[in-house]
Amino acid sequence: MNAAKRLEIFRRLHEDNPDPKTELAYNTPFELLIAVILSAQATDVSVNKATARLYPVANTPQAIYALGVDGLSQYIKTIGLYNSKAKNVIETCRMLVELHGGEVPQTREALEALPGVGRKTANVVLNTAFRQLAMAVDTHIFRVSNRTGIAPGKNVVEVEHRLMKFVPKDYLLDAHHWLILHGRYVCVARKPRCGSCRIEDLCEYKEKTSYD
Ligand code: SF4
């Protein structure tokens, strides 16, 4: 895909949604960090339901750590893998208090040292909470990047590096959200909705069909 096409794709995505947001509910970097840890292999809706109960009671590392694994589990047991997530969150809270003064660190290295925080989660926090240029590639972004030809790659790290290189600079900060939302609601996994897609004429997907 050439640069002019990429520019036009992001121009349209921006035009349709000038201020894209994550669908996870949060008010602070810490709340976002915990929500992203909880969202692994779970829907944002299920995470939001759990954090809507949890955060009014405990929304700081100190307060969640005080709940302990069993106490935290009571709030998140509707989420898949809640047991291991509870352990990771409690350990993360302990490290935030002991190593970072109760604050969420703003570097990839420090974030990835926290239990339950991998490259993707670190990128979401850096980009969404701290507005740094970082690209979290999830299953939706991986699919959209490959199908469209915006940034094809064999694995998520390859796609991440190509997106960082190829997405026009003016759109890089919000590209993560546009691509996730496009993959979640339009370029869906099984039957992409090419017939109602804003970028159909620019997309290089070879098997385009309209299901709308
Ligand atoms: S045209 Fe189809 S395959 Fe291409 S981005 Fe749109 S929905 Fe996805």
Q: Which of 16, 138, 170, 191 is catalytic?
A: 138
The residue nearest atom 4 of ligand 1, judged by CA position, is 203
**pLDDT at position 144, please?**
97
SS (H, E, C) 123-162: HHHHHHHCCCCCCCCCHHHHHHHHHHCCCCCCCHHHHHHH
**pLDDT at position 152, please?**
95
pLDDT tens column, 68-98: 999 999 999 999 899 999 999 999 999 999 9
16 has catalytic annotation: no
Closest approach atom of ligand 1 to CA 198: 6
Q: Looking at the predicted structure, is the pLDDT value of residue 193 above 90?
A: yes
138 has catalytic annotation: yes
13 or 209: which carries more pLDDT confidence? Answer: 13
145-173: average pLDDT: 95
**pLDDT at position 109, please?**
96
- Between the CA of residue 163 and those of 60, 149, 187, 211, what are the distances in Å? 33, 11, 17, 28
C-beta separation of 42 from 24 below 8 A: no
What the chain holds in terms of domains, given with CATH numbers, is: 3-20+134-211 (1.10.1670.10), 29-129 (1.10.340.30)
For the Cβ of 203 lying below 6 angstroms from any atom of ligand 1, the answer is yes
Question: 190: CA distance to ligand 1 center in Å?
Answer: 12
User: 53 — phi, psi (to 5°)?
Assistant: -85, -40
Q: Which of 49, 120, 165, 212 is catalytic?
A: 120
C-beta separation of 193 from 212 below 8 A: yes
pLDDT tens column, 26-58: 999 999 999 999 998 899 999 999 999 999 999
**pLDDT at position 43, please?**
92
For the Cβ of 208 lying below 6 angstroms from any atom of ligand 1, the answer is yes
Provide the percentage of residues in the chain whose pLDDT is more than 90: 93
Question: 120: CA distance to ligand 1 center in Å?
Answer: 24
**pLDDT at position 212, please?**
53
Which tokens go with 172? Answer: 């890089």
Q: Looking at the predicted structure, is the pLDDT value of residue 141 above 90?
A: yes
Return all residues near 94 (Cβ < 8 A) that are at least 6 apart: 61, 65
**pLDDT at position 41, please?**
87
Q: Looking at the predicted structure, is the pLDDT value of residue 60 above 60?
A: yes
171-187: average pLDDT: 95
